[in-house]
């Protein structure tokens, strides 16, 4: 089955394709002629994922899904949350985001955090939401070179390595996105897609 995934991020595309498996072919917005930045103007992860999915569906008429992910840090009242990608700047500057997070957590003992992903699927004109959460903690310096975003600072519960120190396969075994994508895949399989 071909389905449009609202991302042009190669890391994210690879992660999601690995979880979905061979029965699905992910198509990027660019491959469908949608080359502009897809808006993310909502105040919740659910809202952003849905806005992106509707934007693609309205322009292509095709089945599609979009995700939004936020890092929710307990000591920061859930921030950066929905603003994770643009935490430090208006652009996707991962290094600046990581520096700001570390600065905001200087001297803070409570380093509990969770990654949360929400996927919005539009299939046959109907919308469904899927959520994946992984609990963990923020360490005090970046470690590892894999992944993207806050991966070099986040250690999931039960592990002693950051997401950025894990292979794609290891990360997909426990990550928030993988958990949401598995729910999506289970749903698509259950309806025979």
Decide if 115 contacts 176 (C-beta within 8 A). Answer: yes
Q: Is 105 in contact with 138 (CB distance < 8 Å)?
A: yes
Q: In a 3-state reduction of DSSP, which class is residue 153?
A: helix
Q: If you write DSSP's letter for every residue of 148-182 in order, what string do you get?
A: -TTGGGEEETT-SS-GGGS-HHHHHHH-HHHHHHH
Residue set of the binding site for substrate: 7-12, 69, 148-151, 171, 176-177
CB–CB of 133/116 below 8 Å?
yes
Q: Which residues are annotated as a binding site?
A: 7-12, 68-69, 148-151, 171, 176-177
44 C-beta neighbours (distance < 10 Å), count? 13
Catalytic residue among 63, 68, 93, 140: 68
**Closest Cα partner for 176 from 90, 33, 31, 67?**
67
Q: Is residue 72 within 8 Å of 132, Cβ to Cβ?
A: no
Catalytic residue check, 68 = yes
CA 22 to CA 29: how far, in whole Å? 20
Structure tokens that stand for 70 in this block: 């936020």
DSSP assignment, residue 37? P
Is there a contact between 24 and 52 (Cβ–Cβ < 8 Å)?
A: no
Please give the positions annotated as active site.
68
């Amino acid at each position: 089955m071909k389905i449009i995934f609202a991302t042009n991020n190669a890391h994210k595309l690879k992660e999601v394709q690995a979880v979905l498996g061979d029965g699905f072919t992910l198509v990027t917005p660019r491959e469908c002629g949608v080359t502009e930045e897809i808006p993310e103007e909502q105040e919740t992860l659910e809202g952003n994922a849905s806005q992106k999915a509707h934007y693609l569906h309205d322009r292509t008429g095709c089945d599609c899904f979009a995700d939004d992910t936020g890092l929710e840090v307990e000591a920061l009242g859930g921030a950066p949350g929905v603003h994770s990608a643009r935490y430090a700047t208006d652009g996707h500057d991962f290094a600046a985001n990581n520096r700001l997070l570390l600065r905001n957590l200087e001297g803070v003992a409570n380093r509990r955090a969770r990654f949360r992903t929400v996927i919005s699927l539009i299939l046959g004109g109907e919308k469904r939401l899927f959520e994946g959460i992984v609990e963990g903690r923020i360490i005090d310096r970046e470690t590892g070179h894999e992944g993207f975003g806050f991966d070099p600072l986040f250690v999931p519960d039960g592990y002693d390595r950051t997401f950025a120190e894990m292979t794609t396969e290891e990360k997909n075994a426990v990550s928030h996105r993988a958990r949401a994508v598995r729910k999506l895949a289970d749903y698509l399989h259950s309806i025979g897609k």
